[in-house]
A = this chain, B = another copy of it.
Amino acid sequence: MTSFFDKLNISIDQNNSLLCVGLDPVIDKLPKHLRTSQTPLFDFNKAIIDATAEFACAFKPNSAFYEALGPSGIEQLKQTVDYINQNYPNIPTILDAKRADIGSTNEGYTEYVYDYLQMDAITLHPYLGSEALEPFLAYKDKGQIILCRTSNPGAGEFQDLLLDGAPLYEHVAEKVRDKWNGNNNCLLVVGATYPSEMKKIREIVGPNMIFLVPGVGAQGGNIEETMEAGLGLNSRGLIISSSRDIIYAGSDEDFAQASALRAKETRDEINKYR
């Protein structure tokens, strides 16, 4: 099986893109003609995937939007991932799930994301430490994406607390660099809404570590500032994720074309600063 990192390099080259398309569908926001389908989330995702695949380096469904519908939502998430794996095998899938439990419990989550869903990467909370996350970290070919500096307005409540003069999020970056990344399979979540923090984190972890960057588009993060702050080795090192701005670019029967256009625009805007 091709690793997350190999897939990502292929998709970046193939599509000349650092753009990740977030697949976060909410039934009430879907085009009206899809809402009465038996599988509205999958039908919507399928159209978005086909329309945006040539502009994307990754797809990132957020588990919350599927869990909200119970078993049917999980089934549609699985259909979505299967569809990507079958039709776009070089585009990696990231489950934005922000999981983390004690070690024996995390085995249930690795079964969910890697064995059942067959995804390539997952987002993880750092609070329980690396010992607890070992079941994830042991998957060498998968991407383990640790929350470092999140994109939300109140992110600083704990992440900015100072320890020896440095905020907590910098300590997370240092620990991941020095200890968690033994299998060379860790990434960090760093929100586009905090470019100066991103710059600092890039200095700490060096040019090789990849950042998953939420917060452009609906959340207001600036692409130019993000690229200046975070770009890594060989004009890579960033996976810039946009969800609502792309998937809801249109609302009529031609919604997918609108999403394709917005994805292309966003990819091209990113590439202006590579």
Contacts and interface: CB of A to CB of B under 8 A. Distances in A.
A119 interface: no
A161 B158 contact: no
A50 interface: no
Contact of A65 (B26, B71, B98, B105): B105
Interface stretch (A85-93, A146-154, A204-212): A146-154
Contacts of A96: 101
Contact of A152 (B66, B69, B131): B131
Interface in A48-89: 62, 64-72, 74-75, 78
This protein's copies in its complex: 2
Contacts of A108: 26, 62, 64-68
B102 A152 contact: yes
A5 interface: no
A6 interface: no
5 contacts: A65-B108, A67-B74, A103-B152, A131-B157, A161-B168
